[in-house]
Chain A
């Protein structure tokens, strides 16, 4: 006998709170301070703007210039909130600190041969990862404001678009123009970083990825216009998924296709609400929610909100506020940053 479940789709609302102007030209990225009190943005104008609340309004608190000679592609606040790392097309990554009271660039990490595309801090703040069009992923060790290269990983065969650390462990994921996502871990025996898993299923560039709150699932988005959800199966898992090298195996357990009409440039998985949000080349912001009571090995996600014309041009980045549930920031080619609030 088949049970027919009637799906209740709750209609929430995504409200535009504020449109922030200040950048000249394309804004590539926004990043929330770990406490959610500030927002940093960057773009082709080679500047970083730090935004903060004054009363009910977001205003420019600081503009950081002269750290980079070309486009700033991405930013990352350290988990302690005292540092900002910026990845640039000028092949360097800058680390800014506010020891003097103002944010200043006191370290420049060099070594990549081409544009640096992404940067990410591990949860301890002791490791930094960068990736580049030169196909490599670098892991840097942080020691008293010194940054030493701990590994250069050449597993990808093309331009690497994104690096993101696991939310609790020193495990790194990267997404590439070679259509794959890779997972890296340090081998304790010889302190060598190596690729422990390759996630293959996307049929074009993987632009971004986001871990879930637990860290055993990853959401990825691609130029193939789909989102994929991947799940980790550890050695000895009771599902019977074989783990031949005694390392975790990652399986694609869900593909969301037919929702996006152009390249999906970014995805973020909210650690508080579990909602997924995407940034798309069709100017739309979409929000997805995992269905209640679905099989955890074959989950379903429902599109619960579509904001048409969220921006006047491509949406490049979306990020949930890490502390304020429902608050969202987006960045676009239309030179604006927008603050949104989603309520169910």
Chain B
């Protein structure tokens, strides 16, 4: 994880993507009496503004997260997020995945089973990164590492 502290930018000129407009809130969603299930757009709104560890840009602006790569099954308590590293040898992939995971752990009710994986075929160490992100024991241990937690919190901090 020490790579995460690297000062050298791996991808100097990342491609920028257009941001989604703000979500329109329907009358039904305003109605407190209607049970409101989580959907892909809601999950996307929770993670779209996570900051990239090296660029002053959000994961949405870098197209690392996309609404159509999120699957939600509220009744079965399942949230599956796929993310796309900007380059196939990105050493930040685990850190980015961990940031998405932590953000969802903090924002969603505990009943949800969250999986965060790399979009198939978009990273050289896809299997290893996915295995690491799926291992809750290693994720728990990582989050007890104050230096790493500091870096993650920076990624999660809203920009002014």
Q: Are A133 and B138 in contact (CB under 8 A)?
A: yes
- CA A204 to CA B131, docked complex, whole Å: 8
B contact residues around A156 at 8 Å (CB):
none
For the complex, is A262 an interface residue (Cβ under 8 Å from B)?
A: yes
Residues 133-150 of chain B, each 1 if its beta carbon lies under 8 Å from chain A, else 0: 011111011001000000
In the complex, which residue of chain B has the Cβ closest to the Cβ of A161? B137
- CA A314 to CA B111, docked complex, whole Å: 9
Partner of B113, one of A117, A159, A281: A281
For the complex, is B12 an interface residue (Cβ under 8 Å from A)?
A: no
Q: Are B113 and A71 in contact (CB under 8 A)?
A: no
Q: Are B141 and A314 in contact (CB under 8 A)?
A: no
For the complex, is B110 an interface residue (Cβ under 8 Å from A)?
A: yes
A contact residues around B141 at 8 Å (CB):
71, 89, 114-115, 133
A131 to chain B, nearest CB (A): 13
- CA A44 to CA B141, docked complex, whole Å: 10
For the complex, is A205 an interface residue (Cβ under 8 Å from B)?
A: yes
Partner of B110, one of A70, A177, A313: A313
B contact residues around A282 at 8 Å (CB):
113
- CA A303 to CA B57, docked complex, whole Å: 51
Partner of B135, one of A70, A205, A333, A334: A205
B97 to chain A, nearest CB (A): 17
Q: Are A70 and B113 in contact (CB under 8 A)?
A: no
In the complex, which residue of chain B has the Cβ closest to the Cβ of A44? B140
- CA A15 to CA B76, docked complex, whole Å: 25
A contact residues around B110 at 8 Å (CB):
312-313, 333-334
Q: Are B111 and A262 in contact (CB under 8 A)?
A: no
A280 to chain B, nearest CB (A): 11
Q: Are B136 and A314 in contact (CB under 8 A)?
A: yes
A317 to chain B, nearest CB (A): 12
B contact residues around A133 at 8 Å (CB):
138, 141
For the complex, is A26 an interface residue (Cβ under 8 Å from B)?
A: yes
Interface residues of A in 194-243 (CB under 8 A from B): 204-205, 223
B contact residues around A281 at 8 Å (CB):
113
Interface residues of A in 1-41 (CB under 8 A from B): 26
Band of interface residues on A: 20 to 34
In the complex, which residue of chain B has the Cβ closest to the Cβ of A281? B113
A205 and B144 in contact (CB under 8 A), knowing A117-B137, A313-B111, A334-B110? no
A contact residues around B140 at 8 Å (CB):
26, 44, 71, 89
Interface residues of A in 137-159 (CB under 8 A from B): 159
Interface residues of A in 321-338 (CB under 8 A from B): 333-334
In the complex, which residue of chain B has the Cβ closest to the Cβ of A282? B113
B contact residues around A263 at 8 Å (CB):
134
B45 to chain A, nearest CB (A): 24
A229 to chain B, nearest CB (A): 24
Interface residues of B in 117-160 (CB under 8 A from A): 131, 134-138, 140-141, 144
A177 and B144 in contact (CB under 8 A), knowing A262-B113, A312-B110? no
B contact residues around A177 at 8 Å (CB):
131, 135
Q: Are A70 and B131 in contact (CB under 8 A)?
A: no
Q: Are A312 and B111 in contact (CB under 8 A)?
A: yes
- CA A333 to CA B109, docked complex, whole Å: 13
- CA A260 to CA B137, docked complex, whole Å: 19
Q: Are A89 and B131 in contact (CB under 8 A)?
A: no
Interface residues of A in 113-141 (CB under 8 A from B): 114-115, 117, 133
- CA A133 to CA B137, docked complex, whole Å: 10
Residues 94-119 of chain A, each 1 if its beta carbon lies under 8 Å from chain B, else 0: 00000000000000000000110100
A contact residues around B111 at 8 Å (CB):
312-313
A contact residues around B135 at 8 Å (CB):
177, 205, 223
- CA A133 to CA B110, docked complex, whole Å: 27
Between A and B, 7 residue pairs with Cβ closer than 8 Å are A70-B144, A71-B140, A71-B144, A223-B135, A263-B134, A313-B110, A334-B110
Question: Other CB < 8 Å A-B pairs besides A133-B141, A333-B110, 19 of them?
Answer: A71-B140, A71-B141, A89-B141, A89-B144, A115-B141, A117-B137, A159-B138, A161-B137, A177-B131, A177-B135, A205-B131, A205-B135, A223-B131, A223-B134, A281-B113, A282-B113, A312-B110, A314-B136, A334-B110
Q: Tell me the A residues contacting B by CB distance below 8 Å.
A: 26, 44, 70-71, 73, 89, 114-115, 117, 133, 159, 161, 177, 204-205, 223, 262-263, 281-282, 312-314, 333-334
